[in-house]
Amino acid sequence: MKYPIGIQNFEKLIKDGFMYIDKTGLMYQLASNGGYYFLSRPRRFGKSLLISTLEAYFNGQKELFKGLEVETLEKEWTRHPVLHLDLNIGNYKEHGSLESILDFNLKQWEGIYHLNDETDNLSLRFACVIQAAYNQTGQQVVILIDEYDKPLLHNIGQEKRLNELRASLRSFYSVLKTQDRYIRFALLTGVTKFSKVSVFSDLNNLNDISMDASYTAICGITEEEIHQNLDEEIAIMAQKRGISKKDCYEELKKRYDGYHFHEDTPGIYNPFSLISALSKRDFKDYWFETGTPTFLVELLKKTGYRLDNLTKEQVTADLLSSLDSLDSNPIPMLYQSGYLTIKGYNPRFRTYALSFPNEEVEQGFIRYLMPYYAPNNQANRTEHYVFNFVNDVEEGRVEDSQNLQNRHQFLQRYAPN
């Protein structure tokens, strides 16, 4: 089996014969309902592949979907003009960088629809492109925006720069609402949802499906999908590791399963870690090897959040789905970034219990993030952090018995021998 590690283009994946877990039924359900959607998922979770699959679908590329669920569901295969904006590229710390990326994409679209950029107003040019695409094709436009929040994440803690970017993005994205009559479908994806800090304030018709039970499996891989599509690969890996197939399933589950985006749905496997493990026939922390997000490190350092309270939080859905308290509470960011996930729900108080989704994240968090979180940024900074914990306990610098218990548990689990 050819594993699509690092491949995010649906057409390339299909034509070159890579493994694909069929998500086209959920994609069709999403597309058929129409409207404007937002989806938040952790990095390396398949958002870009979903965007690419939707692009191929709305381009009417029926031949790419042969044998997939949508082939029997879709009858018309209408070709729509698709505007795909990928904000993954670029370093947004520099002034004007976002505007350059937007200008680059607008020029490409203006070339397709024979428009001249007669104004410097990016939002107006975007609106003109949408209208031209509709008028010249006779079909409503599909707009796909991948990693809409990347410019903001690059500037966590830089409030002046963040305000500039928020204003630019708010103006640009507001075009989706003003041009509603010309738009068939729109999807914005990202890691985080900056909901009440101006980015989406003008786009109040956006349907956030991040915690919608109907779409929890639209990205990622479920246990059922593994058994249906990868059972032989599991057997090969088990043989390679010298363990039983049952033990191999259990080890994969323990390490890579456990993401919950709704309280009443099965766990989701991290797709990048799972296919990397199957490809290399080894159990490693693949997700963390792709890099620790600097924005998360900066946020943890800025807030000074107590790590021993990390998995004992009880939070509301409103807190999980937005970053209103970004300056004082890193929990929403940790949840949306995939470092914490839903582990329980209290219907009486409508609060969620959070914890690490699996061993890969828990161990990786301690190994990669805690050193940056500790003071002095030295080679032995993790030991310094634990040493400070010990001193606090011994000197009585604790607020209550529960706090003391939390610290003892932390030390018992993570203190070096």
3-class DSSP state for residue 75? coil
Please state, in angstroms and rounded to a whole number, the distance separating the CA atoms of residues 262 and 20: 24
Same domain, 23 and 149: yes
The reply to whether 47 and 63 lie within a common domain is: yes
Encode pLDDT of 49-66 as tens digits: 999 999 999 999 999 999
Q: Which residues contact 363 (CB under 8 A, 6 or more apart)?
A: 285
Residue finishing a domain among 263, 284, 305: 284
The answer as to whether 4 is a domain residue is no
Residue 202 pLDDT more than 70? no
274 lies in the same domain as 291 = no
Q: Tens of pLDDT along 298-339?
A: 777 777 776 667 777 788 877 777 665 555 678 888 888 898
pLDDT of residue 401: 47
The two three-digit tokens of residue 182, written as one number: 């010309």
For residues 310 and 331, give the distance between their C-alpha atoms in angstroms, rounded to a whole number.
Answer: 8
Token pair of 378, please? 């030295």
Residue 389 in contact with residue 411, Cβ under 8 Å? Answer: yes
In a domain, 332, yes or no: yes
Phi then psi dihedrals of residue 353, to 5 deg:
-95, 135
Residues 55 and 202 in one domain: yes
Q: What is the mean pLDDT of the chain?
A: 85
Question: How far apart are alpha carbons 194 and 42 in whole angstroms?
Answer: 15
- In-domain check, residue 3: no
Do 80 and 34 belong to one domain?
A: yes
- Do residues 200 and 54 share a domain? yes
Q: Is 242 left (phi over 0), alpha (psi -120 to 50) or beta?
A: left
Bridging pattern class, strands 221-222 and 268-269 = antiparallel
Q: Find the CATH number of the domain harbouring 145.
A: 3.40.50
Cα gap 27→20, rounded to integer Å: 14
What DSSP designation does 207 have? E
Does residue 239 contact residue 189 with C-beta atoms inside 8 Å? no
Supply the pLDDT for residue 19.
96
Residue 412 lies in a domain: yes
Same domain membership, residue 267 and residue 301: no
Domain-ending residue, one of 236, 269, 284: 284
Instruction: Check if the beta carbon of residue 4 is closer than 8 Å to that of residue 275.
Output: yes
- Residue 216 in any domain: the answer is no
- What tokens appear for 206 in the block? 């956006």
Cα–Cα nearest to 170, from 133, 187, 195: 195
pLDDT at 155 over 60: yes
By the 10 Å C-beta count (0-12 exposed, 13-18 middle, 19+ buried), 185 is classed as buried
Q: Is residue 55 part of a domain?
A: yes
Distances (CA, A) of 100 to 87, 89, 153, 158, 202: 11, 11, 18, 20, 23
**What's the mean pLDDT in 82-90?**
92
Residues 6+ apart with CB under 8 A from 43: 191, 290, 293, 337, 338
- Percent of the chain clearing pLDDT 90 (strictly above): 55
Nearest to 34 by CA among 214, 217, 186, 205: 186
How far is residue 130 from each of residues 5, 104, 140, measured CA to CA in Å?
A: 34, 16, 9
CA–CA dist 302, 313 (Å, integer):
19
C-alpha dist (Å) from residue 29 to 39, 75, 86:
15, 14, 23
Q: For residue 75, give every residue at least 6 positions away whose Cβ sits within 8 Å of its Cβ, in sequence order, or none.
A: none
Lowest mean pLDDT among 200-204, 275-279, 381-385: 381-385
pTM: 0.87
**Residue 24, domain member (yes or no):** yes
Residues 71, 184: one domain? Answer: yes
- When divided into structural domains, the chain yields a total of 4
Q: Which of 155, 187, 210 is the last residue of a domain?
A: 210
DSSP labels, 337-351 = TTSSEEEEEETTTTE
How far is residue 307's CA from residue 113's CA, in Å, rounded to a whole number? 53
pLDDT score of 273: 96
Tell me, yes or no, whether 239 and 132 share the same domain.
Answer: no
Whether the predicted pLDDT of 375 surpasses 80: no
Of 253, 261, 260, 188, residue with least CA distance to 223: 253
Kindly state whether residues 21 and 136 are assigned to the same domain.
yes
The range of the structural domain enclosing residue 55 comes to 10-210
Are 315 and 171 in a shared domain? no
- Do residues 196 and 322 make contact, with C-beta atoms less than 8 angstroms apart? yes
As a whole number, mean pLDDT of residues 35-45 equals 92
pLDDT > 70 fraction of the chain, expressed in percent and rounded: 82
Say if residue 371's pLDDT is above 80. no
Q: Check whether residue 57 and residue 42 sit in a common domain.
A: yes
Q: Indicate whether 215 belongs to any domain.
A: no
